[in-house]
Structure 1
Amino acid sequence: MPLPKIEDARNLNDEDLQEQIVSVKRELFQLRFQKGTRQLEKPHQFKHARHRLAQLMTVERERQLQQKDEG
């Protein structure tokens, strides 16, 4: 499975962006829980989830700065 593209995150509206951030944070929590209980089967999922979270938070910050410059 290839890493997600940042353009996918940029195409989301603000509400969907927030929902995705919460979803990915929840997924990371579940992955850490599985790792702690030695039930994690696919460790590469950490990389994908962290990468996606970084993209989403970058887009969120870009939008915050854009609103600040406009306001």
Structure 2
Amino acid sequence: MKINKYVEDLKAKSAAELNEELVAAKKELFNLRFQNATNQLDNTSRIKEVRKNIARIQTVIAQKNA
């Protein structure tokens, strides 16, 4: 149910807020990839989680633009 709550929170945000969140998520993914490459990342499943969150944000943005 946490995912549904996250998506509902995304749907309540404006387009500008969604874009800010998208940029932040992409930066986090970038940093996680670097940590993984240098063997500093302990929780590798976080990469998958962030990628899915980016997709969720992009989906909500597309729905708002449609």
Structure-1-length-normalised TM-score: 0.81
More helix by share: 2
CA distance in 1, matches of 2:10, 2:53: 9
Show the counterpart of 1:62.
Answer: 63
Asked if 1:21 is matched to 2:22, the reply is: yes
Show the counterpart of 2:48.
Answer: 47
Spell out, residue by residue over 1:17-41, the C-alpha distance to the aligned partner (whole angstroms, 9 max, x if none).
Answer: 0000000000000000001111011
Query: Percent identity, aligned pairs only?
Result: 33
CA distance in 1, matches of 2:6, 2:48: 14
Show the counterpart of 1:68.
Answer: none
Runs of 4 or more above 3 Å deviation:
none
The number of aligned residues is 64
Structure-2-length-normalised TM-score: 0.86
**RMSD of aligned residue pairs (Cα, Å):** 1.4
